Amino acid sequence: MSGKLLINCIPLLTPLTGVGRYTYEICRQLSHISEIEFFYYYGYYSKKLLDISIDDKKNNLSSYLQKNPLIRKSVKSVLFASSRILAPKFDIYWEPNFIPLPQIKTKHIVTSVHDFSFKHYRDFLPKERKEYFDKYFDERVKKSDCLICFSEHIKKEIKGMLKCCDSEITVIPHGVRHDIFKVYDDYELDVGLPDKFILFVGSIEPRKNLVRLLKAYDSIDKSLKDEYKLVLAGFKGWENREIMELINNNEQYINYLGYVSDSDLAKLYNKSSLFVFPSIYEGFGLPVLEAMACGTPVITSDSSSLPEVGGDAAIYCDPYSIEDIADKIVKALNDSELRSRLREKGITHAKEFTWEKSALKHIEVFNNLTLK
């Protein structure tokens, strides 16, 4: 492929969650391909990919903007207005975050659709996000020449909801940073942790099903809880009042760490005895693979895309059943041979997923458009 490719990198301006991580990892791989002239859009146009290594000042600014939607909206308005005036013309515009921006001048549009949580689980979303998707998603995404998603489950949803045909949709699984998420023989972790623990990683929000996880953990025998504490890592999301109350009321057994860097997260996976991810709905479910790559036995939901991601290397639970989540946790904790089998299967399974493979599939999509 030759020509000018623009990538919307606004997701890199806030602390990275799923969309931002995906955007950065694909950009990082694509930047090694010299025949393409890359441009990155941050509300302004740049030929430089941001270094998103964790930096306290950047995190503080990003967190401030996240907590102040009116200020964030004003900043975006100023940047978008200036970008309309200075906009160059591109061959392909790739939108990695659901909704293409209207001010981009381009021949072709490729859009990544991660999931349909904004339609299925409206009560789980902040008001601002619901209003934005209601107003713009259907109208703008249909202007795309190709849609990228990350599981067959989401492809079926795209076909049903957007009335797209197979040729307009490409499924590209995510990858794992195997240089970070791997088995470590020796490491130091500078956070206070119990000797043995169950780990959850993800935003503290309703879709991640934390209320049921916390209640399931609370229901297991005291002797197991004394031996295996529960550790949660991830940004505070939204609509999480009940979740935080359950955490605060059970501090004897539950540690909430907040956001941790990738390097510390990999060590957390390594140190944990069991990773539990009972999310109600995921377009992919990257933490499942990260945990497996670190040799951590995994319990996850039997719903949405998660069985595709976990394959035969995970234990599956009914995310709507507190009793089933608890039973699967107890089963895994009481069976060291089962955990050992899951560990070996998980390590092998996770090796199949790389960001390099994912980026090459993206290039195929872009190439197909430039040949038209």
* pLDDT digit string, tens, across residues 332-352: 999 999 999 999 999 999 999
Asked whether the predicted pLDDT for residue 27 surpasses 90, the reply is yes
Reported as a single tens digit per residue, the pLDDT across 129-145 is: 899 999 999 999 999 99
Report whether 181 contacts 315 (CB < 8 A). Answer: no
Query: What does CATH list as the number for 197-350?
Result: 3.40.50.2000
Reported as a single tens digit per residue, the pLDDT across 108-123 is: 999 999 999 999 988 7
CA distances from 321 to 18, 24, 216, 303 (A): 26, 35, 9, 12
pTM: 0.89
Which residues 6+ apart lie within 8 Å of 195 measured at CB?
none
pLDDT at residue 22 in the model: 96
Asked whether the predicted pLDDT for residue 196 surpasses 70, the reply is yes
pLDDT at residue 55 in the model: 39
Domains 3-175+354-370 and 197-350 share a fold: yes
Reported as a single tens digit per residue, the pLDDT across 284-341 is: 999 999 999 999 999 999 999 999 999 999 999 999 999 999 999 999 999 999 999 9
Distance CA 224, CA 92 (A): 55
Reported as a single tens digit per residue, the pLDDT across 57-102 is: 344 444 444 444 444 454 455 455 545 555 689 999 999 999 999 9
- DSSP per-residue codes, 61-79: HHHHHHH-HHHHHHHHHHH
Fold classification of 3-175+354-370 (topology level) = Rossmann fold (3.40.50)
Determine the average pLDDT of the residues in 176-200. 91
Parallel/antiparallel/unpaired status of strands 36-41 and 45-46: antiparallel
Neighbour count for residue 7 (Cβ, 10 Å): 24
Mean pLDDT for the chain? Answer: 89
More confident: 83 or 217: 217
In the chain, where the domains are located: 3-175+354-370, 197-350
Reported as a single tens digit per residue, the pLDDT across 256-270 is: 999 888 999 999 999
Reported as a single tens digit per residue, the pLDDT across 151-171 is: 999 999 999 999 999 999 999
